[in-house]
Structure 1
């Protein structure tokens, strides 16, 4: 692969990749461990996603998606947790990629510093593959269909009983906001991650989180207390879905952030990822799209009913739902990647900036209108 490969960054510009693109020679070595996948013909496309290296490959037996992680980010054991969830969803009738087995039966393999997984081809058109994660659906119909697909996933996940994943980087965990003392929970979260703790040591992070929890999180733990634990996707945005020609969701993929949280957390994440033009923050104050949020919610409700208490909890969860994953991103950038500039973006612009927007006049207007329409 030439040096021209670029990936998505934390802003709008494409950047040089942290992780080098998968090479043809590398793919051939990996395929030797997956004999059912056949012989490599070509590397068709390299993903612009930034946290791993991935490529679509063609073999003499079909098309596959080869993904490579650094072992500090994902070991084979860590991947086995999400692969177990994917297998459960497939058995329940959802279309998710089939994870191929190596010759020894393993679904992920370690070679040197890297961990590899190989997925079979999945039905659907990758309409959003070159779009940034923090961008909206192309149409209200897509938003509604994505909401319905998320509801189907939550229904299928209800009898998956695996425990929550461990303290891996870049996991959409949910331990801080449901806590009666979220600041104490945040302290525990940071203390368990030495690189994150070192990075935040020079920042007034406790005071900052205390301010945000006081301004936006009052009564949140009580509102969430009745929510059943559930394995969730954790990264629900358009480019993690494959689409049919008539605008339906054909396949759900990229379960890298998945773990045991609750349904409202996943739904709030889906809205936070797609109903706000966060990449325009600082250039435009009117970032939120209530109609887009309502389209997701309307689709979701066709599969999963929500009572008034659920909607109330959803509205109050939305302004802070990003906090824990933003801390995980800081941990990734400060620790695994060693990039303090990107860690600062995650801290200042994502964690603080997104929450503070909800305290602004446009943010408060969004929450008021969304609550009114969702409760109607």
Structure 2
């Protein structure tokens, strides 16, 4: 993959980046302000579209990851919310690399390189696992993370661009984002969204809130053989529930949303769904309320993120075309697929797996 291209959202799998590449001067300043030392080489450049990221090797051989974001996307306060949760998990045995931040014209996060191979770095974020062994170990680590998250009592994050907030039904999710995000209010005010969105509803009664990862898929994990040896990218972490996070993990990797967008099959990976849930339940028991809730959550877990992504495209990236793609292809597309016979079959299959 060419360094100057990133993963795209529209018709092209690769696109020109929104943000310019990190320069050597920027990298040197960010490293000096956080860890000290001098970068000797840039080893790779990331292809994720929402920030600029590089892997660097220092003169002393240590390796770091430098990530640059616009201040309007994540300021020091926002990063502090994520970093405190990461530290809580690290103190309880979850392999989360240490991270520090510094602010200049942009915000720079500088991470220690995690243990393990970044096996999925070249994959689109929502790609399936390589095999069921990877899926089961991802489930195991997610169960461990949720157990370790207990006791972290920070409140839910305020509305920011790019957050995976939790909602109990479709209409109230839209209404809440309209009330809190003026750009989304203007965007949705130009269309009859109430007529376009199918309604799904769940009841979170009996399910305890929990800070969660929010973006659990293979590209946010590092691997040693089939073991998950590091967990990275807590940018979507927030106070949701464990079962919401598990549903997100299933939704991210079990369905080929790119293929569906292009008119192809869903390629539902039933084997990987089974492996992920089995791995998870080997570490953390699902309560009766969580078992009942899990399949019904699948259509809902993507709504909060996609509405916040529309906000990002309109207010930070200034990219109205991708806001339209986010709405039509990824928000409506997901919801409508779950109304289909195949979408109902997936929910039924997850219900059977969660109950047995």
Contact 2:22 2:54 in 1 (8 A): yes
Contact 1:285 1:362 in 2 (8 A): no
* Gapped regions of structure 1 (runs ≥ 5): 100-106
Distance 1:352 1:331 in 2: 16
Q: Secondary structure at 2:230's aligned position in 1?
A: strand
Q: Secondary structure at 2:236's aligned position in 1?
A: coil
1:188 is aligned to 176
Paired positions, count? 352
Deviation at 1:185, TM superposition (A): 4.8
Contact 2:206 2:289 in 1 (8 A): no
Is 1:375 equivalent to 2:342 in the alignment? Answer: no
Contact 1:232 1:260 in 2 (8 A): yes
Is 1:108 equivalent to 2:101 in the alignment? Answer: yes
Q: Secondary structure at 1:374's aligned position in 2?
A: helix
Q: How does 1:270-309 map to 2 (within 5 A)?
A: 270-281=249-260, 282-309=262-289
Q: Secondary structure at 2:240's aligned position in 1?
A: strand
Distance 1:364 1:271 in 2: 15
Distance 2:188 2:236 in 1: 23
Distance 1:89 1:274 in 2: 24
- Residue deviations 1:184-232, cap 9 Å, x none? 45313222111111111111123334xx22xx32xx12xx211111000
- Residue deviations 1:153-207, cap 9 Å, x none? 0000011111111111101111x32x7xx53453132221111111111111233
TM-score (normalizing by structure 2): 0.95
Distance 1:364 1:53 in 2: 38
- Residue deviations 1:106-146, cap 9 Å, x none? x322112x001111121000000010011100100101100
TM-score (normalizing by structure 1): 0.90
Divergent runs of 4+, >4 A = none
* Gapped regions of structure 2 (runs ≥ 5): none
Is 1:255 equivalent to 2:222 in the alignment? Answer: no
1:60 is aligned to 59
Q: CA RMSD in A?
A: 1.6
Contact 1:37 1:59 in 2 (8 A): no
Deviation at 1:351, TM superposition (A): 0.8
Is 1:32 equivalent to 2:32 in the alignment? Answer: yes
Contact 2:256 2:265 in 1 (8 A): no
